[in-house]
Amino acid sequence: MSDRERGSATVWVLALAGVLAVVGAAAVLVAAAVTARHRAGSAADLAALAAAGRAVTGDPDGCAVAADMARANGARLATCTVEGGGVVAVTVVVPVRLGPLGLHDATARARAGPAGG
């Protein structure tokens, strides 16, 4: 090994470690976003089912039940529409902190009601 090449392995190891750290941080942020999206989908499904269960019986306050269910699942009910036949459509929002990228929202929609409705 010549004197010119002395220490070059250290530079390569440091560069590789930096690249791996950036890739690891990006993977963690993507995982957080995907997890929030799945939480939003579950919260939307449960909120829509709860509201539809009330709407089918003629309860006019189905959207209040949907809001309670969304809140219980760490989400916020953004929209709720009770359609004819007891069909309910909801949109929920789950906040997700993406480190240096700040606070963002994961949004999901769901629709529930009687079969054929």
**Per-residue pLDDT reduced to its tens digit, 1-59:** 566 777 788 889 999 999 999 999 999 999 999 999 999 999 999 999 999 999 988 88
Residue 43 in any domain: the answer is: yes
Q: How confident is the model at residue 61 (pLDDT cuts 50, 70, 90)?
A: confident
The sign of the torsion formed by the CA atoms of 53, 57, 63, 67 equals negative
Residue 14 in any domain: the answer is: yes
Residue 41 in any domain: the answer is: yes
Any residues with CB less than 8 A from the CB of 32 and at least 6 apart, and which? 96, 97, 98, 99
Domain count, the chain: 1
State the pTM of this model.
Answer: 0.80
Tell me which residue range forms the domain holding 45.
3-112
Residue 75 in any domain: the answer is: yes
Q: In what order do the strands lie in the sheet with 103-112?
A: 76-82, 88-97, 103-112
Residue 117 in any domain: the answer is: no
